[in-house]
Amino acid sequence: MSASPAYGMKPQDPLSSMDALVQNVKEKIGIENDVDSDDVIDHIGESATRICDLLSSSYGPKGMNKMIINPVDDVYLTSDGKTIIEESDILNPVVTSLKDLANSMDKTCGDGTKLAVIFAAILLKRATNLFKLGVHPSNVIKGYRLALNKTYDMLEFESFSAESSEQIYAAVLSAASGKSIDIKLAEKITEIMVDIAENLSSRENDEFLDLEEHVKIIKKVGSPEIQVISGVLLDEKPARKDMPTSIANPKTLSLIGDLKFENKFVNPKNNIKLDNVDTYLGVQDKKKMVLNDYADKIIESGANVVFCEGDVEPLIESKLAKHKILLFKKLKTKDLARISKATDSTIASIKDTSLDAYVGNADRIEVNKKCDEYFVYLYSPNNLISSILIWEPSRYLLSKIEEAVDDALNNAIFLIKNRMIVNGGGGVEFNLSKMIQTYSTTINGKENLAVNEYSKALEDISKILAQNTGMNPIDSSVKMSNYYNQGKDCRVDISGIICENNPPIYDCAAIKKLALISATESAINVLRIDSILAKR
């Protein structure tokens, strides 16, 4: 007998629920039916305008924040381009392509995400205006490619090598201060990130550098402070309270898997029943023997600090504690890999014949407690592993500082490997726009219209920076033109004025190139769309 619906409630129709879900998805996509011909132009223009308006006001050190509430009521308060576009609940095909652009920029260089997405959106907006004037998409695409090639050449001309550490510092500081944090804090972050980048640059040039593998960032709510160590920092506590909390020149051992007793050691077929005292005691004796063997094996290795990825039996913990061996258990595999690299050792298994060859070395290990949390400081002698602990009372500022640290570190790594820089503060984009505008006059045919629009898109970047500092974008463009005509480098200053680039602000040339190239290619891919099919 089927259950009847509650009094006063109608049974929910599965078909109506499915229809509601489909309708909800269609609203997020913004497409009800197939989109063809002229409607595609309007659709691309509307989508590009939406993304441009969403991100433009958050661009630069004076950019505004966005508060995003996702379907599960998580609240994001951020100005980070990748976070904004990822958390925005938009499934539109054009927006999805820009999300892919943001993800690729973040994975490739860790910065320049917002610049790339905004520039791509501006190019799409300007292209749709040309379409409405009768310019064919193939002409626009060809014009954009011509403009990109010339922009790359001009960007090479505008780039110069950072001859001094002060220029490297200025470029990294520009990235750190772009997250609207206090300038003193940005300066401190810059110093730390440049030091870390220089340490990592001691590696072979042809060796791939995975920052997640070499640098760990831990965020905690508490009194404002940034700690950085050469080595591994963990928010873990010892397995037992009676274990040592400080060891000089420790011998470390990293183990994968559990240090526990398995019944198959006694009975591989699992056909013994513990139905009498003698059988039970026999199994317990065997268990003690196996666990004691594990503990003795660790003790004989000479290690006095053990990091274990799995769980550890109390009997082993007790025996290690009696021998003054510090044990940490249930660690993440990534942390175990960092410990292994920091101590020049190899991760072992308790089942290996001998553990002596797997023991590593460190300068010092300390266990401290702050704000009711334990922290492990493993100081490494080789400088290839660094850890950063960020304390901040506000969760919002904590996220902003992490974003600043991430951008500064990525820029520092790029600049250590490739020291080419360009003028920052929107100065290089404005100069490029003027050069491309002049170049457009040398092109015959309708492609010159697309090249001219490309130059205006570059100028729009400096206008957005100026507008976010409170300036009139037209006035800022006029003032920058005056400096350009005098042959002087200028920029948008955070104080809300156009000034000469002195004291200088620089950007990483490699990241700037990647952002402009990726944005142009993404825009061209969207412009090749002539219809959008709504699959039923």
In a shared domain, residues 343 and 454? no
CA atoms within 13 A on the CB side of 188: 13
Query: Confidence band (pLDDT; 50, 70, 90) for 483?
Result: very high
Q: Is 368 exposed, middle or buried (0-12, 13-18, 19+ CB in 10 A)?
A: exposed
**Per-residue model confidence (pLDDT) at position 15:** 45
Query: Confidence band (pLDDT; 50, 70, 90) for 40?
Result: confident
Average pLDDT over residues 277-301: 82
In a shared domain, residues 296 and 279? yes
Domain assignment present for 19: no
In a shared domain, residues 464 and 518? yes
Ranges 67-81, 138-152, 168-182, 406-420, most confident? 138-152
Question: Where is pLDDT greater, at 43 or 20?
Answer: 43
User: What is the domain range of residue 180?
Assistant: 163-222+393-418
| Tokens coding 389 | 């602990």
CATH of the domain at 69: 1.10.560.10
Q: Write the single-letter amino acid at 447.
A: E
**Per-residue model confidence (pLDDT) at position 358:** 94
In a shared domain, residues 282 and 363? yes
Q: Of all residues in the chain, what percent are helix, strand and coil, respectively (each to 5)?
A: 50, 15, 30
Q: Write the single-letter amino acid at 13.
A: D
Instruction: Compute CA 175 distance to the chain's CA centroid, rounded to the nearest angstrom.
Output: 14
In a shared domain, residues 304 and 437? no
Reported residue count of the chain is 536
In contact, 426 and 461? CB cutoff 8 Å: yes
Instruction: Give the total number of structural domains in the chain.
Output: 3
Rounded mean pLDDT of the chain? 85
In a shared domain, residues 294 and 319? yes
pTM above 0.85?
Answer: no
In a shared domain, residues 457 and 411? no
In a shared domain, residues 406 and 454? no
Kindly tell me if the per-residue pLDDT of 465 is higher than 50: yes
Comparing CA positions, the residue from 445, 530, 444 lying closest to residue 137 is: 530
Q: How many Cβ atoms are within 10 Å of 330's Cβ, its own excluded?
A: 12
Q: What CA–CA distance (Å, rounded) separates 153 from 158? A: 9
In a shared domain, residues 483 and 508? yes
Domain assignment present for 25: no
Kindly tell me if the per-residue pLDDT of 118 is higher than 90: yes
**Per-residue model confidence (pLDDT) at position 232:** 94
In a shared domain, residues 448 and 499? yes
What is the percentage of the chain residues whose pLDDT exceeds 90? 53
In a shared domain, residues 248 and 371? yes
Kindly tell me if the per-residue pLDDT of 69 is higher than 80: no
Domain assignment present for 485: yes
Ranges 82-96, 126-140, 189-203, 518-532, most confident? 126-140
Domain assignment present for 64: yes
Q: What CA–CA distance (Å, rounded) separates 82 from 112? A: 10
In a shared domain, residues 237 and 101? no
Poorest-pLDDT segment among 62-71, 264-273, 410-419, 473-482: 264-273
Query: Confidence band (pLDDT; 50, 70, 90) for 379?
Result: very high
Structure confidence by residue, pLDDT tens digits, 173-202: 999 988 878 889 999 999 999 988 888 876
In contact, 398 and 390? CB cutoff 8 Å: yes
Kindly tell me if the per-residue pLDDT of 273 is higher than 50: yes
Query: Confidence band (pLDDT; 50, 70, 90) for 458?
Result: very high
Comparing CA positions, the residue from 462, 454, 422 lying closest to residue 437 is: 454
Longest dimension (CA), the chain: 98
Kindly tell me if the per-residue pLDDT of 35 is higher than 80: no
Average pLDDT over residues 312-330: 94
User: Which residues sit opposite 367 in a β-bridge?
Assistant: 376
